[in-house]
Amino acid sequence: MAAFEGARKSDVIGYAAKSPAGSDPQALKAAYLQLLHLVERLHRQLLDVIKDELERLGQTDINSVQALLLYNIGDAELTPGELRSRGHYLGSNVSYNLKQLIDKGYIRDQRSNVDRRSKRVSLTPSGLEIRDKLAALFNRQLGSVEQVGGVDFALIEATNKTLQRLERFWADQVRFRL
């Protein structure tokens, strides 16, 4: 940040320093707090949807967090650190769930030939089955999200753009200690 001394923080990270003209600060606050609440609640609801699907399929030996972790690994071979950075999982959460999934035969782990301290994980055939079950769930939902949920492509694109901006904003809050 030394290179940016004298500059406003909003200039450094590319954000507008103030709200658009005429906006109501109280309305903005209420909407922002509602957004925070919705983001948290939506993640929990996604986990509930996954849990319900696993139970419906008789897959009760793993939880929804573990199933989503398998889905996010997919066909890749990753280190636990890459999982943390890509999936934004907490370190202890990844370690615990990886150990559980390795013990249950859903993930294989291999030590690196170059650095014996490093491990790489990938899905076993059983792990790939769970990944495929979640992919089928998401594809099934995709078939009705517009008609039943009233969520069309344009709305999804706008929401994704907003959430990506918010993700960058929060990352910058941590990175630049704003």
pLDDT confidence of residue 86:
78
User: Which run of H or E residues covers position 110?
Assistant: strand 107-111
- Cα angle 39, 41, 47 (rounded to 5 degrees) comes to 105
Query: 118 has which bridge partners?
Result: none
Q: Spell out the long-range contacts of 89-95 with Cβ–Cβ below 8 A and sequence spacing 24 or more.
A: 93/65, 94/69
Please indicate whether residue 86 or residue 67 has the higher confidence score (pLDDT): 67
pLDDT confidence of residue 88:
66
Question: What's the chain's Rg over C-alpha atoms?
Answer: 20
- pLDDT category at 22 given cuts 50, 70, 90 is low
Dihedral through CA 166, CA 169, CA 171, CA 172, nearest 10? 180
Query: 62 has which bridge partners?
Result: none
Alpha helices in the chain (DSSP H): 9-13, 25-56, 64-73, 80-87, 91-103, 125-142, 153-175
Cα separation of the two ends of the chain? 11
Distance, CA of 67 to CA of 101 (rounded, Å): 9
Please indicate whether residue 68 or residue 10 has the higher confidence score (pLDDT): 68
- Residues 58-80 have a mean pLDDT of 94
Lowest mean pLDDT among 36-45, 81-90, 104-113, 145-154: 81-90
**Greatest CA span in the chain, whole angstroms?**
61
Q: Which domains does the chain have, with CATH numbers?
A: 28-144 (1.10.10.10)
The percent of residues above 70 in pLDDT, for the chain, comes to: 87
pLDDT in tens, 134-144: 999 999 999 99
Contact call for residues 109 and 119 (beta carbons, < 8 A): yes
Contact call for residues 112 and 120 (beta carbons, < 8 A): yes
- pLDDT category at 18 given cuts 50, 70, 90 is low
Three-state DSSP state, 149 = coil
Three-state DSSP state, 123 = strand
> Is pLDDT of 44 > 70?
yes
